[in-house]
Amino acid sequence: MRILVAEDERITRTTLVRQLEGWGHQVTAAEDGEQAWEQYQSGAFEIVITDWEMPRLSGVELIQRIRAGGNTGEGDRHDGAAYVYIIMLTSRSNKSDIVGGIEAGADDFVSKPFDKEELRVRVLAGERVVRLERTLSRQNDELRAAGERMRHDLEAAARVQRAMLPRENITTSHVRSAWTYVPTDELAGDAIGLHLIDDRYLVSYVVDVSGHGVPAALLAVTAMHALSPAGEGSLLLKGADEGEGIGRVNNPSRVVAELNRRFCAGDNDGRFLTMILCVLDSHAGLLHFARAGHPLPVLVRSGKSLAVSEDGGLPLGLVDSMDYEEVVLQLEPGDRVALYSDGFIEQPGHSQAGQFGDARFAALLTGATQVLPERLVTDSVDSLTAWAGKRSFVDDVSLVVVDWLGR
């Protein structure tokens, strides 16, 4: 250990230094408190042993300066804040010195005239504390660095995930659509998509992976990738040997079944996915959708929420070779369809009891028929924020709104 000894009386100082050096320590001696303070600032001491009464600067003043944050320069100090163990030398009779010294920041005391063995074990205790503090400090640094690396990785992953979201809302002379997506953490377990194929077929979907964090996000990204119409082998677009389809687009029931097959074949770490996939022939107003354990879409017509078929199937990744029902609806001009994740309806209120709920959500949609989809999705998140008391939700929140304008 590097030890600084502050003692104005020469014989005691010499004896202390000799003892400490005999035990293998590197010792620096100071003749008074002020000199000790100067040496402390230019050295890298792990233990300070100081007398109480000294000329120029007393032991207690020296301790106060050290504890106020004085650095000991370079050495192996991590950030100028490494702990220095302080032992105070005091008269055996003077208890008030002990109390005052420890209150000022001393860790221990040794009575004068000091006993050799007592001094040895007190210094030993100091060594233990110093080593423990250095180890903890190093581990803290390592943890901080690891946390920083993970944060960077998560941010990079979140950027990748965001890049897969729809670029913009889609509006044509037949259809007007908008979406919103609020992840609860850096990475989301929700996925949404909005694609216009051949200027006619509007594909929209919401996927919700069970759980949160990186595993859920990886599955969400996998689903988005499989459903992208851009890549080779997209599930969305028909292959040459595939059936009828909706224009060039595969039927939603077929796409959902194939996605289920793929997720059942892989290792999903015990997770499953719910999903709703819609294909709207925007020229004919014919809406096809298939559901895998996902909340029903909300269909709003003339300011009212209409019942839609509950046909569907189990969530993806649970049972292989599932068939999924396909529901087909003929829309009327002005009809509005909303797809969403359960994060929207299951959000607890900050003061009110219970969740946001289906009824409140439906009322939000039916009460805003004159509001354009792009404004509606923003207003909806604002309403949920007011309900939650903050713009931070317990689950990922996704919403896609599609208005069919007519033929």
List interacting residues with another protein (CB under 8 A).
Answer: 8-12, 14-15, 18, 22, 51, 53, 91, 93, 112-113, 116
DSSP sequence for 123-159: HHHHHHHHHHHHHHHHHHHHHHHHHHHHHHHHHHHHH
How far apart (Å, rounded) are the C-alpha atoms in residues 93 and 228? 84
CA atoms within 13 A on the CB side of 114: 27
- Strand pairing report for 47-51 and 108-112: unpaired
CB of 48 vs another protein, minimal distance in Å: 18
User: Is 80 or 113 the residue whose CB approaches another protein more closely?
Assistant: 113
User: Is 19 or 355 the residue whose CB approaches another protein more closely?
Assistant: 19
User: Is 23 or 83 the residue whose CB approaches another protein more closely?
Assistant: 23
CB of 113 vs another protein, minimal distance in Å: 4
CB of 92 vs another protein, minimal distance in Å: 10
CB of 26 vs another protein, minimal distance in Å: 19
Separation of CA 104 from chain center: 41
Tokens of 173: 């002379």
User: Is 53 or 358 the residue whose CB approaches another protein more closely?
Assistant: 53
User: Is 13 or 271 the residue whose CB approaches another protein more closely?
Assistant: 13
Task: Provide the 3-class DSSP secondary structure of residue 45.
Answer: coil
User: Is 12 or 169 the residue whose CB approaches another protein more closely?
Assistant: 12
* 64-70 long-range Cβ contacts below 8 angstroms, 24+ apart: 64/104, 64/105, 65/37, 66/40, 66/105, 67/104, 67/105, 70/37, 70/40, 70/41
CB of 34 vs another protein, minimal distance in Å: 16
CB of 112 vs another protein, minimal distance in Å: 6
Q: Across the beta sheet with 304-306, what order do the strands follow?
A: 175-182, 397-404, 336-340, 298-301, 304-306
User: Is 9 or 108 the residue whose CB approaches another protein more closely?
Assistant: 9
How far apart (Å, rounded) are the C-alpha atoms in residues 167 and 195? 10
Instruction: Please name every residue paired with 176 in a beta bridge, in sequence order, or none if there are none.
Output: 171, 403
CB of 121 vs another protein, minimal distance in Å: 16
List, in order, residues 6 or more apart from 190 with CB less than 8 Å away.
181, 183, 206, 207, 208, 209, 220, 341, 343, 396, 397, 398
How far apart (Å, rounded) are the C-alpha atoms in residues 282 and 404? 7
User: Is 87 or 329 the residue whose CB approaches another protein more closely?
Assistant: 87
CB of 6 vs another protein, minimal distance in Å: 13
Phi, psi for residue 234 in degrees, rounded to 5: -60, 135
How far apart (Å, rounded) are the C-alpha atoms in residues 349 and 335? 30
